[in-house]
Structure 1
């Protein structure tokens, strides 16, 4: 339960740096006591990218551009769309919402929201990989997860094999 409003200026940034995927994040939803809806503020430096292109099978996401410009690669064919302040993008669960974001010539600041349902399967089409999450959804508290793993998308085992 929230004790009232949370001001983003009072929250610390969490830095993420993985090659050209460099960004800062403030988890607003968690700080405010959100349980079924996540919200994060992201700052992506010029020319850098956010998360690896992905989509969720069980959760919906949305993007609101606060400042800066960038490129959204969307859908199974990674069709490019320009992003600018005031743009809003709905990303329902499923392959049509596969997305990746890259900042333009200045810092790109985004508010991203998502449902926080679990279990969830996240698909990474460019890496032929899936992420499986239970106990806590992607973006949720990692310590609460009972399952959190990444697998090759073709990983299979016969049901009756021992």
Structure 2
């Protein structure tokens, strides 16, 4: 039975799962460690996690959500948030709203300080979700399903580029 209270001092951020871990040169720029706490809280419609970024690292690629809304609350450290075409310094106590929308709502958090940047992330959990990545011209379609009988997380994820998909009738 999940508890409805979790103290952030009691959660230990972990590297992201291998399926989502940065590879190649991206591993040099990205390095989030995440403590996923939604299940511990019994959350159903909101996702909660604590994200930790080492100095010089970004959390995730510059992206926007067409369906879900995110909010970030800076707990420790300092950095920068890029929203649309603007960049803003962030520090302890800042609250950042990222509503769904197009490229003007795209966002990315980076640690520009000399110690870990730690923030609370809260987001709606509506699926399917469509994300766009304006810097690389990619899109992602994602869905999360209830865990399998053995507790293994289940999800669907397709990442591509506009115009590079197969025809709907191909192979039918």
**Do Structure 1 and Structure 2 share a fold, with TM-score over 0.5?**
yes
Q: In the alignment, which residue of structure 2 is the partner of 1:19?
A: 28
Aligned residues: 156
1:89 is matched with 96
Q: 1:99 aligns with which of 84, 104, 107?
A: 107
RMSD: 2.3
Contact kept in structure 1, 2:2 and 2:39, CA below 8 Å? no
TM-superposed CA distance for 1:4, in Å, is: 3.3
Kindly provide the CA deviation profile for residues 111-154 of structure 1, in whole angstroms up to 9, marking residues without a partner as x.
111000001101111111111112449xxx98322x31111123
Aligned partners of 1:142, 1:69: CA distance in 2, in Å? 35
Contact residue 72 and residue 120 of structure 2 kept, 8 A = yes
Listed as ranges, the gaps of 5+ residues in structure 2 are: 17-21
Uncovered stretches (5+) of structure 1, i.e. residues with no partner = none
**Following the alignment from structure 1 to structure 2, what is the Cα–Cα distance between the partners of residues 125 and 142?**
32
User: Compared with structure 1, are the counterparts of its residues 3 and 36 closer, same or farther at alpha carbon in structure 2 (3 Å cutoff)?
Assistant: same
Q: Distance in 2 between matches of 1:125 and 1:136?
A: 27
Aligned with 1:22: secondary structure? coil
Q: Is the 8 A contact 2:128 2:142 kept in 1?
A: yes
**Matched ranges for 1:32-71 at <5 A:** 32-71=41-80
What is the aligned partner in structure 2 of residue 143 from structure 1? 153
Task: Please name the residue that 1:9 is paired with.
Answer: 9
Q: CA deviation at 1:156?
A: 4.5
Equivalent-residue separation in structure 2 for 1:142 and 1:112 (angstroms) = 23
CA contact (8 A) 2:13 2:50 kept: no
Note if 1:123 corresponds to 2:132.
yes
